[in-house]
A and B are shown apart, each in its own frame.
Chain A
Amino acid sequence: DIQMTQSPSSVSASVGVRLSITCQASRDIDNWLAWYHQTPGKAPKLLIFAASNLQHGVPSRFSGSGSGTHFTLTISGLQTEDSGTYFCQQAHSFPLTFGGGTTVEI
């Protein structure tokens, strides 16, 4: 199975700052990577697909980059509604696997 490792596991940041979260795959997954945001009691929400493509309706302050084994989610201008947990997910091979999550506190 492909292991996905996220860092940091948690972070506290202020409104307006630029925040980056990284995700490392245990082997090359090309650009088969998605990012999700989840708040307590809610379902995950797709933010980024194919590593760098913004999902419809997601604010442009979110961006994704990377390929191969190293990926980054960047939030440019953090907002209060961005608190919650962010997960990366590899879509290269079965079983699909998720990172352990990064909890963002505003």
Chain B
Amino acid sequence: EVHLVQAGGGLVQPGGSLRLSCAVSGFSSNHYWMHWVRLTPGKGLEWVANINQDGSEKYYVDSVEGRFTISRDIAKNSLFLQMDSLRAEDTGVFYCARGRAGFSRQLDIWGQGTLVSVSS
């Protein structure tokens, strides 16, 4: 069965850092584009970043460009999001998700979500 199991998240002060992880089971993540999406009180669902199959292409929403880094470990079949210089407006539930085969920007499998709270 296909699963994305997330870890990381928590409470951090403004300016701090967190690293989210997403462990993939039931398929090889290196065959798919993978994404991070967040649900925030202010903006609803917001796409954050994605990465292609071999990690050579990465895209980010402007608001996190230069602060967040998406990466993947093919050997561990895992996806990561390194979040630096965190701001209060980054607070929300973060989801990893798989891009559907053939329609890589439409997301067919999602992790359970992890809460990130940025507050002093």
- Interface, chain A (partner B; CB < 8 A): 32, 34, 36, 38, 43-46, 49-50, 55, 87, 89, 91, 94-98, 100-101
B110 CB within 8 Å of chain A: yes
Query: Contacts A46-B100, A49-B100, A49-B103 hold; do A95 and B108 have CB atoms under 8 A apart?
Result: no
A96 touches B62 (CB 8 A): no
B55 CB within 8 Å of chain A: no
Interface residue tally on B, bucketed by range: 20 to 34
- From residue A12, how far is it (CB to closest CB) to chain B in Å? 20
Q: Which of B35, B45, B50, B108 contacts A98 (CB 8 A)?
A: B45
B103 touches A50 (CB 8 A): yes
Q: With A and B bound together, what is the CA distance between A46 and B45 in angstroms?
A: 14
Q: Which residues of B81-120 have CB atoms within 8 Å of chain A's CB atoms?
A: 95, 97, 100, 103, 105-108, 110-113
A97 / chain B contacts, CB cutoff of 8 Å: 47
B59 CB within 8 Å of chain A: yes
Q: With A and B bound together, what is the CA distance between A100 and B39 in angstroms?
A: 11
B107 / chain A contacts, CB cutoff of 8 Å: 34, 36, 44, 46, 89
Q: Which 4 A-B pairs have the closest CB atoms?
A: A91-B105, A43-B110, A96-B47, A98-B45
Closest A residue to B64 by CB, please name it.
A95
B110 touches A49 (CB 8 A): no
- From residue B7, how far is it (CB to closest CB) to chain A in Å? 15
B61 CB within 8 Å of chain A: yes
Q: List 7 A-B contacts (CB under 8 A).
A: A45-B110, A50-B103, A87-B44, A94-B59, A95-B62, A96-B35, A96-B105
B45 touches A44 (CB 8 A): yes
A34 touches B47 (CB 8 A): no
- From residue A82, how far is it (CB to closest CB) to chain B in Å? 18
Q: Which of B44, B61, B103, B106 contacts A95 (CB 8 A)?
A: B61
